[in-house]
Structure 1
């Protein structure tokens, strides 16, 4: 059987900016028959995410992430439909997902490594299982619950950086649902600011490319900042931390502004900002959603319920075609998308 796949053809280097040319689409042959325990799947959706930038390096500097190998197929979150099965718990027509789905049109996979999906939980919007109802939504939900220390009725203010991205847009909404009384987002365009306020229920949003972020934060967060969902790091995070209250909390989710730079994780703060953090007893601990696997099932059910009730808006940017996966990755890394970046492979 002839299929198409996307391989990593070159590395941008630790300080380079990824480009579509780092990936190459090629045709290969896979077996026509499957073995016991295997399934043949047709890929429906692929997810591209910021953490993948690490996987483009020779060494990811993270024990839980494997580097992509040159001339080998890339992989990540994916959803597909079973076309043939020799696995006892999966049959033809089942929808399945994996965190290590190969970037190819069809694949033969070990059925035991796949999770079966129930489309009814998301009213048939299967791609939501890669975003607001999947690992992205879980990162926002569990990050806030485990590291945010949100107390309903305490009039807490949450600030989210990278707020128009997949995780950030969910985090702001979930912060409100969990009990925060004020939600402020930081993003990079006026259009994104407008969407956060009009569609996602944020109280306010800051375009960090316009004006002074620290001054705008003082105006929009008059009672200070109690919870900071940090997706970006760098100067923006410095500005937020400077406005944080005594005994407040940073949810250290990502550092996208630092991904094209050599760094240790979590990256150290500038001395003056670290002094503020210590003086105000602000918590800042590494958060990894994979450390909370026992809470994933209940978390997904909660996310799906909120989505069906209209309380959690799941915005997606969809790119069509396997050959466009590299371009979709670049767009996501440069902030060109709103919400979750999905690549539609087949319908």
Structure 2
């Protein structure tokens, strides 16, 4: 019992040390309030580290190593940006060990849950900044992999020649990449235009000094934008007071930030390139001097590996189990390919 207890405490100690070090590393690259928050998180992990050191005593030596998954995710955090801190610090399966362990103080277990929420807040801006182009890239790559693999196997199922399979694959690659790029451009551009149409018009601010101050119709603007009647009256009165003092005024209201939406050209380029890259994977084996069956096997294996990678990356960045996301991605891709092959076999050439 004592031996198992020491091993468990040493594992907790190693995890806390690595997390504290990871927060300090991120703090060196951060500025302002974000840096202060990360340093405070590292200090909290150091308190937890001191708790396990006190319990272990001499058993704390030699210094324990954290688990391989934790060390790997910490490496990603250090070298690929703070967004990977989600994968390192929000491991719900690791944190539930604290919840189940009666020897862990309740306050320490509660700390870890709160730390997870703090990290979510810190990572929100990174997720938002990368969501537009990253979303287009991930979906483009997956669409390229799945749709082109399914297309090739569907044509292959009809019993047609290798040359026809290659032609269909290349046509699917080009058509899909162009379609994805055009679709992303139209989608993002239209979204930006819709959001921009809701921004306050500059011309309205130019006529504020000509309004009838007794009618106070300016309050209707603020009510239309969600303010309560009392709040709207108060804001309108404040604007009129500034006008009477001869100050330059405007209706107010924040203009739309397009950081989350991204640009149409960036999303289109990201989607085009990623779809083409994904679609090339199942096509390339058929360009090699091998038979149709070996090429099909290699193509399916390569597609499966790529789906594992893209699914795992999405899992990492979302702070969830990457293995489950990877398996889900592969199952969906292979399922689509199998159905299309079956339909091609039933229809025939």
TM-score by length of 2: 0.21
Tell me which protein shows more strand as a share of its residues.
1
TM-score by length of 1: 0.21
Q: Which protein has greater RCO, CA pairs closer than 8 Å, 6+ apart?
A: 2
Larger Rg: 2
Tell me which protein shows more helix as a share of its residues.
2
